[in-house]
Amino acid sequence: MTDVERLRRQLGGAETERLFQRLRRRIARGQPLTGTLTLDGPSPDERRAVERVLGRPPGRGSTLTVNLDELDRIIRRSGMHPDGLTGAVEALTGSVAVLAEVRAAEAAAWRAALAPVAALGGVRVELAEWCAASGTAALLRRLAGTPPAAARLVTDLVAILAALPADGEPLARLAARTTGDAHALDAGRALETAARSAIRATWWGDAPLPESAAEQRRMLWYAAGVFLDDLSSTVLAVNLPTVAGCRLHDLAAPAAALGEPVVVTLRQLARGEPRFAARTVHVCENPTVLAAAADRLGPTCPPLVCVGGQPSTAALRLLAGLVQSGARLRYHGDFDWGGLRIANLLHGRVPWQPWRYGTADYLAWVAARTALAGTGGPLGGTPTDAAWDPGLAAAMLTAGVRVEEELVLDDLITDLSAAEGT
């Protein structure tokens, strides 16, 4: 039986608070309350409190040493608490959670919450590596914060990943179908972040991503067959080699007859299975090139696609569709670090051959413009290698000059003129 009132009178005052806090820490660490405990710089009240319980002075000096075994025996014999010192500590200060037990219980809760991810990896081979990665568990723990929140997050995440890859499904519709919430995959939501991590590891591959966070998000979802929307993503083209009988041909053919550029939406590319002739298709980075080609060559201009800087989802889908139909892509971009990064991204997604876009071309243009006392300006920014030409980056670093497409426009138009009918 516990004599709580006596226990409080003997050991429950402010003068024993420091001693009991030290004892609580021992219990929390799973250490027995045996041996001795030493308090530095004890106050007179602290000394008197220990003397009152032990019935004798605990010693003098700059420290106060308490024999915990003796204190335990006194508490038991006196009837203050049948569980001795440990019971007294919890009776006066509240129960103490043993950290090892707390951590073990928490670890078990995390394992249970994340178990469905491991199970998904067991049945979906393509997701197995991501599901088993330590970084995946760390990401989910960070996004969720607690095991109960992680369990809810993982339930929805597994439902989404089980539905991928999709076949042109809008993002909001996927979210509603798998989670019951059309906004569950909105940008910035923990679920969307986790899903994109899996998509990048599973369906994107090693190709570089666009620098824009918005384009990264759009392209990663597209890689898994999901569209953020199918109207805002567009690509410019002139004289697309569409084949009669598909919806895109009905839309693009009248413009091609006039040699006028068209703005093709992702919606138009995703519907009706566009078909293309196996032609050589030139691809440029900047709209200026496409506009000049349409102005000068009109209906005789060979097929030309403009990615418009960072390639959109529509641009990637159009280029992939052309390649699947047997078309041969020839690409030209700006000779600067941003241009190389764009070309690297395309190089990782669709096969293309350089169109005046190699080391020899760069050096020839730099030399020509230097002879005319004019260049495209200094080359700034962070260097990057060119995946299709290992020597190009070194040449650009040495010359230190950028060459935009607009500066070589006449050469590009000459090439297009010579390529008519290919």
- 226 forms beta bridges with 169
413, 364: one domain? yes
3-class DSSP assignment, residue 143:
helix
Asked which of 164, 193, 224 is the last residue of a domain, the reply is: 224
d(CA 303, CA 343): 19
3-class DSSP assignment, residue 187:
coil
d(CA 264, CA 303): 14
pLDDT at 327 over 80: yes
Q: What total of structural domains would you count in the chain?
A: 3
Phi-psi region of 202 (alpha: psi -120 to 50; beta: other; left: phi over 0): alpha
User: How high is the pLDDT of residue 370?
Assistant: 64
248, 336: one domain? yes
d(CA 287, CA 205): 29
d(CA 12, CA 3): 12
80, 126: one domain? no
3-class DSSP assignment, residue 188:
coil
User: How high is the pLDDT of residue 239?
Assistant: 96
The reply to whether 213 falls in a domain is yes
User: How high is the pLDDT of residue 360?
Assistant: 96
Q: Are the C-beta atoms of residues 51 and 58 closer than 8 Å to each other?
A: yes
How large is the average pLDDT for residues 230-250? 93
d(CA 105, CA 157): 24
User: How high is the pLDDT of residue 58?
Assistant: 64
pTM score over 0.85 = no
267, 318: one domain? yes
Residue numbers of the domain that contains 215: 100-224
Residues in Cβ contact with 364 at an 8 Å cutoff, skipping those fewer than 6 apart:
none
Asked which of 180, 200, 224 is the last residue of a domain, the reply is: 224
The reply to whether 63 falls in a domain is yes
Write the pLDDT tens digit of every residue in 69-126. Answer: 888 888 888 888 888 888 888 888 888 777 777 788 888 999 999 999 999 999 999 9
d(CA 399, CA 397): 6
The reply to whether 279 falls in a domain is yes
- pLDDT band for position 233 (cuts 50, 70, 90): confident
d(CA 225, CA 171): 10
Q: Are the C-beta atoms of residues 202 and 225 closer than 8 Å to each other?
A: no
d(CA 87, CA 338): 69
d(CA 116, CA 131): 9
133, 218: one domain? yes
DSSP string, 292-328: HHHHHHGGGSPPEEE--SSPPHHHHHHHHHHHHTT-E
Quick one: DSSP state of residue 16? G
d(CA 216, CA 204): 11
Quick one: DSSP state of residue 212? S
d(CA 422, CA 350): 20
Asked which of 27, 61, 96 is the last residue of a domain, the reply is: 96
374, 312: one domain? yes
The reply to whether 264 falls in a domain is yes
38, 66: one domain? yes
* Residue keyed to tokens 């040495």: 398
d(CA 131, CA 194): 11
